[in-house]
Structure 1
Amino acid sequence: MIALLVAVSLLAWLDHRNSVRDTRRTAEIQAARQMVLNLTTIHPDTAKQDVERILADASGEFKAEFDGRIDPFVGIVTEAKVITNGEIIEAGLEREDGTDADILVAARSMVTNGDDAQPTPRDFRLRVTITESDGRYTTSKVEFVA
């Protein structure tokens, strides 16, 4: 009887641990998907807000790189009348440790600018590093992968 009780307790604990892990992985993947969608969806009339949305979920190296380029970026997007509409094709966990996870994201952005009204597809494969701090998931690094 005691062995049965121990076995049931162990199974319950393992199930809980797996559930917590799965919930965390889902949140990490969703955070990466949202960041890539934000990065690949920018419009000239909302460029400043689009960039602010990106920075709101940025941290570490990624935030430092992006932070100083806001005004030039917004200026270029507005002047060239660049419109990008992104979509996520697929995303999956590559690696995770205590506070960070690398998520691979495949995305497509349809790009239009003032000179060409015909949208052109651009495909991206990105490794997005998601960092968890105080229950919040932010993007600390973004890199292109082949």
Structure 2
Amino acid sequence: MAARRPDGMKNWRSSRAVTAGLAAATVLTTALTIWLAVGLHVQHEADRRDQDILAAARQSALNFTSLDFRHYDRDSANVLASATGDFKKQFAAQTQQLTRLVAANKSVSEGQVLEAGIVRSTENSARVLVVADSKVTNTAAPQGEARTYRLQLDLVHRDGRWLTSDVEFVG
């Protein structure tokens, strides 16, 4: 006749298995929670970067389409403040000539950004398409003309800011 184990031994092994199972479940749950938290953080940062890109592109397009001969120096300085690279060099090089031209024609352009969307973006660069309207008044059109612009803006991230490095009229 075989000896029987006391019931206490069976319960001890059973509770040990339950404890090991709970420990494994805890480790798995903790790992999953950390993985999800990291994923959410990465997504939040990407969403924030996209919002920053769109805000910078919208402001740059608004500055570019809102110019008034009465304070063109201020308006052109706004364009230059959000610009960099070749775009900044080209705009700065034309500022003196543009100042005379808008003053002679008494030009006023009141821009409004209608839509903006990111075409592509990385951590340090982005391309954004912007649709903007403006009402332009000048000596040739004193009652004003409505104009629609489709702009492609290239932006780069420098010193904590998104700056416009290129502007192209598209479509």
Q: What is the TM-score when the length of structure 1 is the normalising length?
A: 0.97
- Cα offset, 1:98, TM superposition: 3.0
User: Which of these residues, 91, 96, 104, is aligned with residue 129 of structure 2?
Assistant: 104
Q: Percent identity?
A: 33
Residue 48 (str. 1) matches residue 73 (str. 2): yes
* Counterpart residue number, 2:156: 131
The correspondence of residues 70-109 of structure 1 with structure 2, limited to 5 A, is: 70-109=95-134
For 1:133 and 1:10, locate their aligned partners in 2 and report how far apart those are by CA, in whole Å.
31
- Cα offset, 1:43, TM superposition: 0.7
For 1:47 and 1:64, locate their aligned partners in 2 and report how far apart those are by CA, in whole Å.
17
* Greater fraction helix: 2
The CA deviation string for residues 109-134 of structure 1, in whole angstroms up to 9 with x for no partner, is 11000233211111111111111012
Unaligned runs of 5+ in 1: none
* Counterpart residue number, 2:36: 11
Residue 61 (str. 1) matches residue 86 (str. 2): yes
The CA deviation string for residues 50-84 of structure 1, in whole angstroms up to 9 with x for no partner, is 00111011001211211111110011001100010
- Cα offset, 1:97, TM superposition: 1.9
Determine which structure has greater relative contact order: mean sequence separation of CA pairs < 8 Å that are 6+ residues apart, divided by chain length.
Answer: 1
For 1:41 and 1:141, locate their aligned partners in 2 and report how far apart those are by CA, in whole Å.
18
- Paired AA for residue 88 in structure 1: V
Between structure 1 and structure 2, the one with the greater Rg is: 2
For 1:144 and 1:116, locate their aligned partners in 2 and report how far apart those are by CA, in whole Å.
22
For 1:144 and 1:40, locate their aligned partners in 2 and report how far apart those are by CA, in whole Å.
12
For 1:28 and 1:42, locate their aligned partners in 2 and report how far apart those are by CA, in whole Å.
23
CA RMSD of aligned residues (A): 0.9
**SS across alignment from 1:68:** helix
Q: Deviation above 4 Å: which 4+ runs of structure 1? A: none
- Paired AA for residue 139 in structure 2: G
Q: What is the TM-score when the length of structure 2 is the normalising length?
A: 0.83
For 1:54 and 1:10, locate their aligned partners in 2 and report how far apart those are by CA, in whole Å.
43
Count residues in correspondence.
Answer: 146
- Paired AA for residue 8 in structure 1: T
Unaligned runs of 5+ in 2: 1-25
* Greater fraction strand: 1
